[in-house]
Each structure stands twice: as C-alpha cells, then as structure tokens.
Structure 1
C-alpha cells in the first residue's frame, strides 16, 4: 500500500485538501483526529496526560484542550512529552487502520509530519502552503483565537521553507477551485507512479 504524507502549517488548509482527496475515493487518515479520539478512549493515555499536566487536563472524561494547549505552546518540553504519549498510540492505530484499506494509495495527514519523522514511513509527501496573513485570518475565524496565541502555535512548527526542502509535492491553497484542480492533477500523478 502506497502511503502519501500530507502536511502543512497550522491554518494552511490541510483538512480542505484531505477532503478533496476523499472526494476522489482516496482513504484519508488524520493523525490529529486519531490523537483526539485516543485521548478520549484510552485510560492509559488519560492517566499519562494527567500525570504530565495535573487533574485539570481532563474535565470528567473529556480532555480540556484549551488548558493543555495553553501549557504546551509556552513550554516546548511539555509539548515533546505530550507527543511521546500520543504519537506511539497514533502510530499503532494507523497501522491497524492501514490493514483494512483497499485503495491504490492512502493519505496520511499529520500537522508535524516532518518534525516527528513521520515522513520516513511515506512513499511521497505533500506540503500544503498558504500566505502567513491568510493562515492567521482563517484561524481567527475558525477558532476565535488571539493573534498572539496563533503566532505561538506557529512558532512551534517548522517554517514552510524548511518543509519545502523535504516535500515531494506542494499544493498552494489560496483559491478553492485551484486547490481542487491541484489535488486532481496530483491524484493522476500518484496513480501513475504506483503503476510503475
């Protein structure tokens, strides 16, 4: 099974691109969604997260994402520790999901694909980019978040320039119709590369 990694900075529109691939019948695994699901369903993860951040990290069975985010984006050590709890569980969940797929290839979407070394398990990688101001505008609209918090989250991710050196393909996500056509073109390229 060919694995195509999909990544991009916060607010770049990775989910939009992932949904365009889904419309073409390509299975998509979204690592962040899996992480959120596992934080809800796994007692082992819940215990480890509470040990790291204290009881406030969960409200009942629900993780308090705002509280956790406020702690990790000011402390890279805490972010690294959280990733060490979540990433192995997501990796195991992904492998289980992968065995059930029957498509020519799948999309593995992860915000920190390169930062975490996740690109090593991919046959190809796609980077979604958008102008800095556009990303901030989208995030303020989507999450109703302050600019300072958005900038802090962006500072914890690699720059697009750094990721571009590693990516096999780039999708510039500024206009939806153009983005969709880039996805369609890329799908054709990926299907052909699989036949070689």
Structure 2
C-alpha cells in the first residue's frame, strides 16, 4: 500500500480544525502544525533564542511563550511574518516528518493541518493538498466568536494569506464549508473514499 501525506489547509476561520476533528473521530491520524509549532516555540532552546533576538525579551513571560505579544508583533508587517516563519517552519516540518514516519508504520494516510502550505512553499512536502473554503464574512464571524479579537485584527492576519481563489487552482481537493457542520462532515466522508483509493 502506498503511504501518503495529505495537507489540510485554508484561510483562518475556514474550518480546517473541524475537518481535522472529524478525521480523528473516524480513526485517522492528524498532525496539527499549529500545535506542534506552539510546543516547539515553548520548549526548543534554539527557537526561543532566535525569537527573543528578533522580537525581544517580551516574547516570553515567566519563561512561557507570550502568544498575545508575538501575535501582535509577528503579524504587524510582512517582514516580521517572514521572520517568524523562517524561524519556526523548518523545525516544525522536520518534526512533522519524524511523526509521520512513525504513523506510517501502522497507517497508510497521515493528515497534516497547516494554514500556510502555499505561503511557505510547502506543496512538495505533501502528496495531496485539501483546501477548505468559506467566504470571508463567515470566516471573520467564526474567529470573532472563538477568540477575543476585533474584525480589524482578523483582517490583519488574513492579509498575509494567499486569496482562496488562487489556492483553488493548485489544490487537489476542495471542500466548501459555508453551511452546517453536518454537511461538512458528509463531504469529508465522501472525500475519504477518494483518498483511500489513492493508497491502493
């Protein structure tokens, strides 16, 4: 059986985590790049050193990652976004590769939830890319409902992501997530049938 890595990507608030949650519920392994990044940023001495050098001592508070400070500063301009990505992405992808190899000992498919496939030029790392789409208004509402942020802050984060229309042409699979969770899960179920066939 062929072993495949499938990226789950999409703009902030598109519903990547909902797709990942359902896949896990169905017994599939999902590696979440955001959680791995936070773990490494909190624990990896080299990453800590580089973040403090670039963004200041405030990057950590009482030796804990100061996510609020970093979010405000890392997304303040494109140069800072590129800086934090260059520090964090390589070790995150290395860790994902290690974890995927372990999972492949028992399973044929590994799903990797990551927001920045195209922005970080990571397409070649994956065998297939699944793009989750939702319209901008829906995405903004979802983020405001789950986080203590303003619409302005959400839009500031969105501006550093490639527009969905551009990503659609490059993705192998596209999932619309503008309706209900049940409909999204039905679409994921159908997609799983197609993806399982790719391992044959």
Interval of TM-score (by shorter of Structure 1 and Structure 2): over 0.9
Which digits, 9 at most, give the CA deviation of each residue in 1:160-184, with x for residues without a partner?
1011011011111121111001111
Match of residue 68, structure 1, among 64, 67, 70: 70
What are the equivalent positions in structure 2 for 1:106-145 lying under 5 Å apart? 106-145=110-149
Residue 11 of structure 1: aligned partner: 13
Residue 94 of structure 1: aligned partner: 96
| Offset at residue 38 of structure 1 (A) | 0.3
What are the equivalent positions in structure 2 for 1:147-158 lying under 5 Å apart? 147-158=151-162
Match of residue 80, structure 2, among 78, 81, 86: 78
TM-score with structure 2 setting the length = 0.95
Runs of 4+ in 1 over 6 A off after TM superposition: none
Q: Distance in 1 between matches of 2:112 and 2:99?
A: 11
| Offset at residue 64 of structure 1 (A) | 1.0
Q: Distance in 1 between matches of 2:172 and 2:98?
A: 26
Give structure 2 stretches of 5+ with no counterpart.
none
Number of residue equivalences: 195
Q: Distance in 2 between matches of 1:179 and 1:51?
A: 42
| Offset at residue 75 of structure 1 (A) | 1.5
Deviates more, 1:176-185 or 1:64-73: 64-73
Q: Structure 1 residue 168 and structure 2 residue 154: aligned?
A: no
| Offset at residue 74 of structure 1 (A) | 1.7
Which digits, 9 at most, give the CA deviation of each residue in 1:47-98, with x for residues without a partner?
1100000101110221111111111222111111111110111011111101
